Amino acid sequence: MPRQPDPDIRARLLVAGLETMQSMGFNSCAVQDITAAAGIPKGSFYNYFATKDAFAVEVLEEYWSRLEAAHGPLLSDRGASTYERVASFFRALASEHETHGFTFGCLMGSLSLELSSNSPDVREKLTELLGRWAQPLVDCLRESRRNGELPTGTDVKALADVLIDGWEGAAMRGKVLRSALPYQRFETLVLKRLLKKPASRKQ
């Protein structure tokens, strides 16, 4: 009987692939780089993933699922204003990047540049993940609109997409500059202009 796939090896490949793609980029890393980082033979890779592109799809899911689990609750924290929820979420993402000295940037942005034009499967996955990213932002912005913090006619879906677009630009520039400055400008010049920050209550 053929050996059953080992879920531990699959998990190790995904972790190694995430780290390798973030540090080297998709096109610059070979399957051998990934398997070496995972500590398994190169031939074992294809027992778990049909192609490198199919692997990239799974790595993207691993990447965004981690961020959703770690930081998604910030967007649903009813104890904070909707502005602070959104700002806290983006600050948490920036903190992830700062942990690595701003060398990694956003994997979704990186693979969008590398693969979206020639890998339909990766492009489809990126589209799905962008939608998953946007939806909790839309929910926050819709609440802001109900609370009068946004004009009544605000297209909250379009606004959520603009915030994501602006964030991705900040992440790309932050990676180039190895600096937190683009993230700080995103908050002060984008978030604070597009979203109305509630005034502090006087004691």
Per-residue burial over 48-76, b if 16 or more Cβ lie within 10 Å, else e, is bbeebbebbbbbbebbbeebeeebbebbe
Amino acid at 173: R
Is 61 in the same domain as 22? Answer: no
- CATH number of the domain where residue 107 is located: 1.10.357.10
Mean pLDDT of 45-59: 95
What single-letter DSSP state applies at residue 149? Answer: S
Is 17 in the same domain as 69? Answer: no
CA–chain centroid gap for 196, Å, is 24
Do the beta carbons of residue 87 and residue 131 sit within 8 Å? no
Could you tell me the pLDDT band of residue 1, with boundaries at 50, 70 and 90?
very low
Could you tell me the pLDDT band of residue 107, with boundaries at 50, 70 and 90?
very high
The residue segments making up the domain with residue 145 are 53-194
Mean pLDDT of 54-75: 96
Could you tell me the pLDDT band of residue 148, with boundaries at 50, 70 and 90?
confident
Alpha-carbon distance of 22 to 87, in angstroms, equals: 24
Is 67 in the same domain as 21? Answer: no
